[in-house]
Structure 1
Amino acid sequence: MFFYRLLARILFSAYALRLTVSARGDVYTERMGRLTAREGSGPLLWLHAASNGELTSARSVIDTLQSRAPGLRLLVTTNSETARTLAKSWGLDAILAPLDMPGPVHRFLDTMHPAALVVVENELWPERLTACAERGIPVFVIGARMSASSARNWGRVPDLARQVMESIRFLSAQDAASEARFRTLGLRPDRIGPVTNLKSAAKAANAETSLPFPRAMTLLAASTHEGEEEVALTAFAKAHAERPDLRLILAPRHPRRRDQVERLITATGLSHATRSRGDAPASATVIYHADTMGEMDLWYAAAGMTLVGGSLVDHGGHTPFEPAAHGSAMLHGPHTSNSAPAYDALRQAGGSVEVKTAEDLTTAILSLADPGKQAHLTRRATEALAGLATTNGLDHFYIELARATGLPDIANWPEAPCNSP
């Protein structure tokens, strides 16, 4: 732990110095743990999700906690301002997470006094977790993911890995391979719950889109990253030249890139409108730039085809469960390590189309611009992903969390005490 703290102090101190110069005051104060205590008498639950994907995957958990335990105060922390904005759009109390140094972490804990920390997926910060454990604050990790490369890295610091694993009270892994790696790193078997894939809980919201686009002829490029918009726009422009009735909804992962993405759209020469500017799309609008947070259900509802972002460039690919839940035929690139079992199942079942180049994508768009083909693909995707829908393990999480926070309703025990078996 000594060497980690030394390295963290060097790296995060440099980052903190940049924040004092370039960042807004709220970013600096939140990152440094200089906060104001929250009002209320009920237990405060600290839930941490790194970014949009992790936060979205935990939405059903958040909803369940709030509905079962109205007295529970929930504080969400994220690593990105985009995710913080998304959490706030859901009406949640959300701030940026403290830097993983003793000062910020202990200031955060001294002010907030959380009853428990819930970590979503793969944010195992040593200072944060060990500080909680030292104070008797139970740490829960749900839908935890551990890649082979991450396990190798942790294996190079076995003492630190053991300390972090010992800090965890309960962990549910995303898949069996991740669970095995956590065991190898020293996580005790009695602290491991059933495999739980949070992303598989995605459900189609009752979202009614107001876009004047025919769904079967509309492609959604969902949560795209830098380097993907160029490919999507090039491919779509070529497809549109052959099928002028095609429409594109371009929803970048980070709205702050609006101006950059707008320049790329303008370069296509196609008519477009931008959501954040209040532009209303007309039936003749070809590209709709959906650059706002918390509205992805609207775009899935409007699109018969979805290109999954983060897969054309090496970001590991975003979840395939959301487009599948909305009945949108799925296209994706080759980079799918974040949800490898799900994408492997889709490939084997023929439930998605993999593309690598703009030419591939053009061909796929033109081929899938057909309601029958879309229905066939989405049916296969639904069947392929059904076997991976592992969220029943959350019941074990709720039980353990109820015991930790003293709120029995979290476990759906209407009358049972928290120490009930």
Structure 2
Amino acid sequence: MASSLPLTLRVYRTLSAAAVPLTPVLFKRRLRQGKEDPARINERRGVTGDVRPHGPLVWIHGASVGEVLAAAALIEKLRALNLRILLTSGTVTSAEIAAKRFAADVIHQYVPYDSPRYVARFLDHWQPSLALFIESDLWPNMIVAGAARRLPMVLINGRMSHRSFPRWRRFSGTIEALLARFEVCLAQSDTDAERFAALGSRNVVTTGNLKLDVQAPPADNARLERLMAVTRGRPVIVAASTHPGEEEILAEVHRELAGYFPQLLTVIVPRHPSRGEAIARLIAASSLHASLRSHEDLPTATSDIYVADTMGELGLFYRLAPVVFMGGSLVEHGGQNPIEAIKLGAAIVHGPHVFNFTDVYDALDAAGGAKQAGTPQALVKQIGQWLADPVARQASVDAAGHVVDQLGGALERTLSALEPYLLQLRLEMGAANA
């Protein structure tokens, strides 16, 4: 197997194996940073106390929250076929979301660090029957070891960003050796499909973006009623999944809008809740009053900005606000997924940097289902227009809903492409039960 690998991967495998004695140092640093769960750190070594369930096991891997949520509807479809699911991800926040969003029989594990020893432990224990990797989280040792064990591997919801594509082209032999080990690549768009094919994928199918088929996020009714009670009569806007560099801009946008809408409440939901305290200090330095949800505060009459620094509550705030600014788009992060907000009836405004969701935002903008605002002044103008004109706002919401309906269907196309593998698993289940 090793001799069939390009030099880059052979060097990577050697170095990652040699680095194992250094992992305790890495673990300690990540634990201090809050990036690991101390109770589950052994899962990073491929060690677990959980028992593998009997029968076929479908392993689904996604990097973090977005990928895990993208797989939610697919997981439910597979569960309906009586298949057991092993879900892996690499972040504490994604583990928290998995615990909240999925049934108890969906097994979540932290993905092991990509060393041959840890990967072997993981695969020896779980012995998955089918592996589905979401988007582009491609760990070389995991892929090489899976292929060596003749584990069928499929890349689903495949995405190759405009940034990653030229970088991988410089290491064409490396990426081809990895992609060629997947039996099929199910790409989000024709552009993604072309990029995967150019990089060495041998069987590429465009199935669409699973994130367009996600269900609206849930909300606790009692919490929603409390929020609605304390904000009744106030115009509310939400800035969702914000990143560093955006909150300063949003504070100034709030200040200007408040001149026209004196009771305005801006809810900032940072992409990483651990930044809540820092955001509150930044807002206070702007002479605005902030309340923190992590302190169990509710917005009061004097609250200008409510920092929702908690996990899994976007469904609450999308239901609360008629206008949502999608974060990660005023800075060069690439934007965040607007579909959940659209499905809950929010009008969408975003900045210019949405390259992670180019096709989605292009379609939304062209249809009037979202508006780009590249400057603070443009944000003030667009949000102000929608707050003052509910008819225009609803027209945008309706247009966005139509676009989402048109672009949907990725779930069914993905299931259709997976059918040969799922049929084999059902046959194995039948034989085991005979």
Confirm or deny a common fold (TM above 0.5).
Answer: yes
Equivalents in 1 of 2:218, 2:170: separation in Å? 48
Offset of 1:242 from its aligned partner? 2.6
Superimposed CA distance per residue, residues 92-136 of structure 1 (whole angstroms, 9 cap, x where no aligned partner): 532322122212211211222222221111112221112111112
How far 1:38 sits from its partner (Å)? 2.2
Cα 1:12/1:39, change in 2 over 3 Å: closer
**Corresponding residue of 2:359:** 341
Find the aligned partners of 2:290 and 2:126 in 1 and give their Cα distance. Answer: 46
- Secondary structure, in 3 states, of the residue corresponding to 2:267? strand
Q: Match of 2:86?
A: 75
Distance 1:68 1:289, change over 3 A: farther
2:49 to 29, 36, 59: 36
Which AA in structure 2 matches 1:64? Answer: K
**SS at 2:164's partner residue?**
helix
* Residues 369-393 of structure 1: CA deviation (Å, up to 9, x unaligned): 1322210221222233443224131
Q: Aligned-pair distance for 1:331?
A: 0.9
Long gaps (5+) in structure 2? 1-8, 32-36
- Return the match for 1:109 from 119, 123, 126: 123
Matches within 5 A, 1:256-335: 256-282=274-300, 285-335=303-353
1:238 deviates by 2.2
| Alignment: residue pair count | 408
One of 389, 393, 401 as aligned partner of 2:413: 393
Q: Is the contact between residue 193 and residue 396 of structure 1 (CA under 8 Å) also seen in structure 2?
A: no
Give runs of aligned pairs for residues 147-296 of structure 1, distance below 5 A. Answer: 147-189=161-203, 192-205=204-217, 207=219, 208=221, 209-210=224-225, 211-212=227-228, 213-214=231-232, 217-282=235-300, 285-296=303-314
| 8 Å Cα contact 1:215-1:303 kept in structure 2 | no
1:65 to 78, 91, 98: 78
Matched, 1:384 2:393: no
Q: How far apart are residue 216 of structure 1 and its match?
A: 8.5
State the TM-score, normalizing by the size of structure 1. 0.87
Aligned to 2:13: 5
Aligned to 1:137: 151
Does structure 2 conserve the Cα–Cα contact (< 8 Å) formed by 1:203 and 1:326? no
1:318 counterpart SS class: coil
1:166 deviation in Å? 2.3
CA distance in 1, matches of 2:272, 2:69: 14
**What is the CA deviation profile of residues 323-381 of structure 1, one whole-angstrom value per residue up to 9, with x for unaligned ones?**
22222111111111111011112222232221223333222222221322210221222
In the alignment, is the contact (CA less than 8 A) between 1:20 and 1:28 conserved in 2?
no
Q: Distance in 2 between matches of 1:101 and 1:400?
A: 31
Quick one: percent identity of the two aligned structures?
Answer: 32
Q: What's the counterpart of residue 84 of structure 1? A: 95
Identify the residue that residue 26 of structure 2 maps to in structure 1.
18
Classify the secondary structure of the residue corresponding to 1:64: helix
Residue equivalent to 2:34: none
Instruction: Check the 8 A contact 1:87/1:93 in 2, yes or no.
Output: no
- Aligned-pair CA distance for 1:293: 1.6
Deviations 1:18-53 (A, max 9, x none): 223552644642322233342532333221111111
Q: Which moved more, 1:117-126 or 1:328-337?
A: 117-126
Paired AA for residue 395 in structure 1: L
- 2:4 is matched with none
CA RMSD across the alignment: 2.8
How far apart in 1 are the matches of 2:263 and 2:420? 53
Return the offset for 1:302. 0.8
Kindly indicate whether the alpha-carbon contact (under 8 Å) linking 1:221 and 1:308 is maintained by their aligned counterparts in 2: yes
